[in-house]
Each structure stands twice: as C-alpha cells, then as structure tokens.
Amino acid sequence: MRRISPLLALRSSYENTQPAPRDPLRWLLSLLIALSTAAFAFTHTERWRYGLGFCVAVGVAFALLAAVAKLLMVLVRAHCPDSWPYVWRQGLANLYRPHNQTLVLLLALGFGTFLLVSLYLTQQMLLRQAMLAGQADQPNLILFDIQSDQREDVANLVRSFALPVLQQAPLVTMRLASIKGRSVEDLRNDAGNKIPTWALQWEYRATYREHLIGTETVIAGTWQGVVDHAASAIPVSLEEEIAHTLGVTLGDELVFDVQGVPVTTTVSSTRKVDWQRVQPNFFVVFPSGILETAPQTYVLVSRVPSNDLSAAVQRTAVQTFPNVSAIDLTLVLHTLDAILERIAFAIRFMAFFSMAAGIMVLASAVITGRYQRLQESVLLRTLGASRAQIRQILLIEYLFLGSLAAVTGLLLAVIASWALAYYLFETTFAPAGLPLVLALLFVIGLTILTGVLGSRGVVNRPPLEVLRSDS
C-alpha cells in the first residue's frame, strides 16, 4: 500500500494497474521469519543438527502443501467435468480464479492440521506405551543387589507373599578391554575412531543363561546357551544396536575385563531386544558354564497386585536383607502418567493455539477477498443466478478447500508420527482410525463454517447498490 500513489488511486477505476515490482522489504520480512524459526529451533534442541532437521522438516511440509495447492489448481483448470451441475463447476472454478485463496488456505489449514494431529498421535503413542508397561501381566516390582548366598532366601520371601518369581537373573560387571584386536585405549586415542566414547568406557552388566527370554529374538548367527569347557573364544550374543555401535559383526573378537580377569569372546549371534518390556534386558549375554564363579549379584522380578502388598514385601525384604534394594514400578508408572498428563495439557494448548491461528488466517483471507466476491455475486445475479446458487457455490469452494487441506495435513501427520515411532521411540505405529476421521470432519466443518460466516452479506447486497457504489 505504501507504493500506491494518489494519482494511481484516482485512475484505478478506468486505468489498468501494472503489476507491482518485487518489494525488497517483503523479502527481508520473509527472511526474518525464517531466521526466527531457525533461531527458535537451534535454541531448543541439544544439537544444531536437530534444529536444522526441524527447519528442513517444516520447509518440506510447507513445500508439499504448496505443491498440492498448485497441482489442485492445474488439475481443476484442465479437467473440470463439463457434465457436472453449474454450481459445482463454478465452485471448482473459484479455486483457480484470479486472486484465489487456494494456496493461502491450504498452507494455513493444512499445516495446522499437520501440527495438531502429529501432536495428538505422538501423545497417544506415549500413553499406549505406558499402558502396555502397566498391564496385568507385566512385572512391577524389582529387587536387586541380591548376593549369591541370598538368592534362594529372597525368592522364598517373595513366594511367602503368594507372589510369582517371574525372572531371577545374575548380573556380572565387566568392561571392554579390546575390540577386534585393538585395545580400548588405542581406540580412544585414535582420531579416526567412530566408536562413541561411552561405549568404550561403559560398565557392562552382562548375564548368562541357557535360553532366550520372551523379549529377545535372534536375528543373525546361532544362539549357543551352554559351554561345557572354557574354549579359546567364548561365544556371546550381542544386542543389535550395541553391535552396530561397536562396529562388530558375527565372528569378531571382543575381550572383556571381568573384574581383573580378561575373557576372550567371539560374537556368535545378535539379538533384537524389546526394551519396552519392563524387565531386565542385556546388551551382552554369555552362555552358561563360564561366569558362574565370577563375582556377581542377582535381580529378581515379580508382579504385585496392590500397593499395600508391594509396601509389605519391600519392608520385609529391607528388614531381612538390608543390602537388597527395591524399585516399585507402579510408582514409576504413576509418575509417568502425571508427566504425560502435563504433556497432554501442553498439547491441547498448542492444538487450540494452532487452530485459532488457522481460523484467523482463514477469516482474514475471506475478508480480504470479500470485495471481489461481492462483485462476482453481483455479476452472477445479474446473469440470472439465485441467492441459493451463490451460497452453494461458496459452500462447494470451501468444502474442497477444507477437504484437501485436511487430507494433506493428515497424511503429513501420519508420516511424521510413523517416523517418530520408528526412528525415535522404536515402537510400533498403530494409529486409531476414529480420531483421524473426526479430525478430518472437524477441519472440513470449521473451514466451511468460517468461510460461509465470513462471506455473509455478500449474497444479500442488491446488485444495483453495488453497481452504483462503483460508479
């Protein structure tokens, strides 16, 4: 507006306006918006790569929405069916008419839907994991630091309360001494080493047993559960992620320092471990017959049906075995539930804020094109269109805009939530269909309602009044 001269304003009724040149200030404001988004992302993430990834993801989402909007306009212009009723053809034609709102509304509504549904699906994913951890068949009481001579006594104490002993696993503490013939010190001093420092310095708590448990699946190699004699290299099983982190595969040699005693091992298998299950899982599992004489402690896992019984078991265990510690996972789950409730409140606030912003953009776009719609209404009514037909044309236009924005936003949200589930939370992604359908109907209804309310009065203005106001 600051570039419009008074003379051009006076001549606008009979002189064609030339397209305005590119405005440097407008480009500067767009750059500032992009930089502020990037600064927000960089200051709220642990690593600059995460912030950059967030900015790229937002840019990709906007680019996809813009591409869908442009494709819609091209397809409607080229393939609008001539056999459709007049109001449908006119409503579709409004999607590509001059000064149309298709791009703006698809960006605003589509991105709002994408953000809203992504937050909701992520929340439900976390809540579902908490519910799975608290199911009736899951352990919720863990006793650890049990000495070897206390093993049977602690188990009998738990059974005296009519509770099951679901798992009793030995823990042997050890550190890595060498990987594939190279010492840990050599690897740490090597600038080209890609193994993280934590993996080289980690105090591994391994176990030994003859069989796999329900949370483990061998994905490569052969599981060997028993070794009758100490061979030159003991076959061990590694969890798949730690094997990848250490850069080892089947047949590679690892030397562990078991409290001062070097133990040479070879990777005989790799396992996929379900870390979501609340029970002891291990990076390294030895076969039986090797570590039985090593210094070790035990961990016992049970299931307690009530908080009162859990408190009684813990009290008796501590009084009888002062060195034994206990973790009541029910309290952990309650704490997690409280945290997720706060997260849910933040998500709801973000959802309402995003939806309010989308409504404001939608309303402003409707108001901006109100004068042009008024002229179109006058022209259509002069040509014989009824008020009902004009209302149907507006309804059809916003129906298509809301539907496409909702569908595109939902698809982006499902893809983003699946990526979070697979790459970050490492869990299965199984969204419920009903919330997605409700979100689709809600966005479509909100678009139609806002568009129709914002356009009220356009149909009711007499054509003669509008034509006289322009003369």
The one-character DSSP state at 20 is P
* pLDDT of 464: 61
Of all residues in the chain, what percent carry a pLDDT higher than 90? 24
Helices and strands (H, E) in the chain, number of each type:
15, 11
Cα→Cα distances 259→124, 173, 177, Å: 44, 7, 11
Distance CA 329, CA 340 (A): 16
* pLDDT of 251: 92
**Strand-pair category, 203-208 with 284-286:** parallel
Cα→Cα distances 347→30, 83, 155, 351, Å: 27, 46, 44, 6
* pLDDT of 194: 87
* pLDDT of 253: 94
* pLDDT of 185: 92
Between CA 112 and CA 120, with CA 118 as vertex, the angle to 5 degrees is 105
Distance CA 449, CA 25 (A): 35
Q: Is the pTM of this model over 0.85?
A: no
Burial of 26 (0-12, 13-18, 19+ CB in 10 A): exposed
Residue 404 is inside which H or E element, if any?
Answer: helix 387-419
Alpha carbon 427 to chain centroid, angstroms: 11
Among the ranges given (129-133, 236-240, 284-288, 346-350), the one the predictor scored with the smallest mean pLDDT: 129-133
* pLDDT of 266: 93
Residue 471 has pLDDT above 70, yes or no: no
Cα→Cα distances 177→51, 116, 182, 201, 423, Å: 37, 49, 9, 9, 31
Q: Which of 105, 110, 111, 102 is nearest to 70 (CA)?
A: 102
Cα→Cα distances 415→214, 338, 429, 432, 456, Å: 30, 28, 10, 14, 37
* pLDDT of 230: 63
* pLDDT of 236: 94
Residue 284: strand pairing partners: 238
Q: Please report where in the chains the tokens 């594939």 appear, as a residue.
A: 180
Distance CA 101, CA 404 (A): 13
Is 37:55 a contact under the CB 8 Å cutoff? yes
Distance CA 157, CA 321 (A): 10
* pLDDT of 282: 92
Is 261:181 a contact under the CB 8 Å cutoff? no
* pLDDT of 369: 63
Is 180:249 a contact under the CB 8 Å cutoff? no
pLDDT (tens digit per residue) in 5-59: 777 666 665 555 555 667 788 889 989 988 998 898 888 887 888 888 888 888 8
Strand, coil or helix: 428: coil
Residue 352 has pLDDT above 80, yes or no: no
Distance CA 427, CA 417 (A): 11
Cα→Cα distances 52→47, 64, 409, 422, Å: 9, 18, 22, 20
Is 249:268 a contact under the CB 8 Å cutoff? no
pLDDT (tens digit per residue) in 267-290: 999 999 887 776 788 999 999 988
* pLDDT of 99: 67
* pLDDT of 126: 74
pLDDT (tens digit per residue) in 52-93: 888 888 888 888 888 888 888 888 888 777 788 878 887 788
Residue type, 350: M
Is 211:195 a contact under the CB 8 Å cutoff? no
Distance CA 50, CA 56 (A): 10
Sequence ranges of the domains in the chain:
27-79, 81-137+328-471, 165-302
Is 376:83 a contact under the CB 8 Å cutoff? no
* pLDDT of 255: 94
Residue type, 281: N
Residue 257 is inside which H or E element, if any?
Answer: strand 253-258
Residue 386 has pLDDT above 80, yes or no: no
Residue 156 has pLDDT above 90, yes or no: yes
* pLDDT of 263: 92
Strand, coil or helix: 325: strand
Q: Please report where in the chains the tokens 């599981």 appear, as a residue.
A: 223
Distance CA 370, CA 149 (A): 84
Is 412:110 a contact under the CB 8 Å cutoff? yes
Of all residues in the chain, what percent carry a pLDDT higher than 70? 83
Q: What does pLDDT average to over the chain? A: 82
